[in-house]
Amino acid sequence: MAEYKDSKTALVADVDCTTAGKSLCEKHGVRGYPTIKYGDPSNMEDYKGGRTLSALQEFAKENLKPVCSPANLDLCDADKKKQIEDFLAMDDSALDAKIKEKKDEQSKLEETFSSEVKKLQEKYQQLQTDKDDGIKKVKESGLGLMQAVMAHKKKTGDAKSEL
């Protein structure tokens, strides 16, 4: 954080999501710790890179600079500029409705993901139980004794081989 404290284009901050920063973390979808986010404060992105100091410094050098946004239209390609201009032309209620629609869509995707992961976890647990029960039955059916007898036969030269 000290490396970027005087930067006019980058803010590196530490937020405690369990105390005063809880509402900020909820607003930006922070669910696990540590979480690293970057980008425009109104459109934060998840950082997925390395966690070493050198990896973070390299990422910062490449990414913590002004980017395409309504405040920096000159940094946008033609498609993004057109999209921003279209959004700027919308009245507030229409833009709010569009934002709500997209957030609802995002929430539905999160809910679907969570419920499907829960189903997978339940299936995994069932498969694990079935495997453990099956292995226990195989062992109880005499596998261990069969292996011990075979090892004993090989040791004493009593093993019979077919020609």
| Per-residue pLDDT tens over the stretch 28-52 | 888 877 888 888 777 888 889 998 9
Residues 6+ apart with CB under 8 A from 7: 64
User: Which residues is 45 bridged to in the sheet?
Assistant: 38
Q: Is residue 41 part of a domain?
A: yes
pLDDT of 162 above 60: no
Tokens of 56: 């973070």
Q: Domain tally for the chain?
A: 1
Is 51 part of a structural domain of the chain? yes
Q: What integer best gives the mean pLDDT of the chain?
A: 89
Residue 27 lies inside a defined structural domain of this protein: yes
**Which structural domain, as residue segments, surrounds residue 45?**
1-66
In a domain, 130, yes or no: no
d(CA 96, CA 83): 16
CA trace torsion 11, 17, 20, 21 (10° rounding): 30
Ranked by mean pLDDT, the top range of 3-12, 15-24, 98-107 is 98-107
* pLDDT tens digits along 97-118: 999 999 999 999 999 999 999 9
